[in-house]
Structure 1
Amino acid sequence: MALDRWVAFVILCAAMAYGYAAFFTMDALLPPFMQRNPIWPSTFPKVLAVLTIITCLFILLGLEKSEDDGKEPDIDYRRLGDYHLSQALGLLALMVGYALVLRPAGFLSATFLFLVLGSVTLGERKLIVLLPVAAFASFVVWYLVDEVLGIFLRPWPFFL
């Protein structure tokens, strides 16, 4: 079985567990006044689980490949060294670092640093464009989450 099908199988297993939690365990603890609402807190997880399961089955059954496609697969697990593995692992390390630094450094600075370092890791070299775009994106996301949605995000480091 090709690498893309193995990845789809692993994601399918995770999506089935997620779907089970969304369909059978999340709604059991709803208060009575919320049980009459047309949209529950589990609505988006249910939709996400169903769409993920459908997509994974689509890949597992090979429906995304055309019949005249006789060439080698797109991803060859025997040649993983030929891909940009260091960039992918670096980006994963940055994600873990972002999660660890988010609270003490504050949302704005942690997000700005993650966007800048992630872009540099992936090969962006135009800092004159990168720095203002990262600052603007960090501020817009913070503003939408904090001010529009009303979910508090500490914008600055803990010592300010």
Structure 2
Amino acid sequence: MALDRWIALIFLGICLVYGYTAWFTMDANLAPFMRRNPIWPSTFPKALSVLAIGASLVILFGIEKSEPKEAEIDYRRLHEYKLGQAIVLLCLMVAYAICLRPVGFIISTTSFLFFGAFILGERKWLLMASIAIITTMIVWYLVQQVLGIYMRPLPGFLGG
């Protein structure tokens, strides 16, 4: 069996457990007044589990496959792909998650976007810095001001 089908089989198992939880265990502890609502807290997980099970079955049975292409990933040739970039980018994501609270949203997100672009091969420093800063400020404004969710913008010693 191909690698994508093995992954789909594992994903199907996870989705079945998630679906069982959404369909049978989440609604048991609902308050009586919520049982009359048309939308319950488990409505989205139920829909998500059905869609994910359907998607994994499509991959598992090979319905989406047409003709084999040259551009498909071959797990026997993983050493030919840019795994170093992917691993460094994953490490950068972990570092971003760890630094988000102590360093603050603005500095950590700007650094993540800047260094992520650098890892992926962009070398226009001014363009990377300006896009990272502008994007970070727009996202911070939308989350902070529009949605009303407080995010520490700067580290504590800088007044965040």
TM-score tier (shorter): 0.7 to 0.9
What pairs up with 1:15-54 in 2 under 5 angstroms? Answer: 15-54=15-54
Deviations 1:93-134 (A, max 9, x none): 111111111111111211111111111111122222221211
Unaligned segments of structure 1, at least 5 residues: none
Alpha carbon RMSD of aligned pairs, Å? 2.2
TM-score relative to the length of structure 2: 0.83
> Percent of pairs identical after alignment?
57
Identify which of 124, 127, 134 aligns with 1:126.
Answer: 124
Larger of the two Rg values belongs to structure: 2
Specify whether residues 103 and 64 from structure 1 end up closer, same or farther in structure 2 by C-alpha distance, changes over 3 A only. Answer: same
Q: 103-112 or 30-39: which moved more?
A: 30-39
TM-score relative to the length of structure 1: 0.83
Q: 1-10 or 90-99: which moved more?
A: 1-10
Deviations 1:29-54 (A, max 9, x none): 44445444433443333333222222
Q: Distance in 1 between matches of 2:31 and 2:147?
A: 22
Partner of 1:92, secondary structure, is helix
TM-fit CA distance, 1:63? 0.9
Specify whether residues 45 and 135 from structure 1 end up closer, same or farther in structure 2 by C-alpha distance, changes over 3 A only. Answer: farther
Unaligned segments of structure 2, at least 5 residues: none
TM-fit CA distance, 1:24? 3.2
Aligned pairs, number: 158
Partner of 1:152, secondary structure, is coil
- The amino acid of 1:139's aligned partner reads M
TM-fit CA distance, 1:73? 7.3
Does the aligned pair in 2 maintain the 1:2–1:73 contact within 8 Å? no
TM-fit CA distance, 1:71? 4.9
Name 1:145's counterpart in structure 2.
Answer: 143
Name 1:105's counterpart in structure 2.
Answer: 103
What pairs up with 1:58-97 in 2 under 5 angstroms? Answer: 58-66=58-66, 69-71=67-69, 74-97=72-95
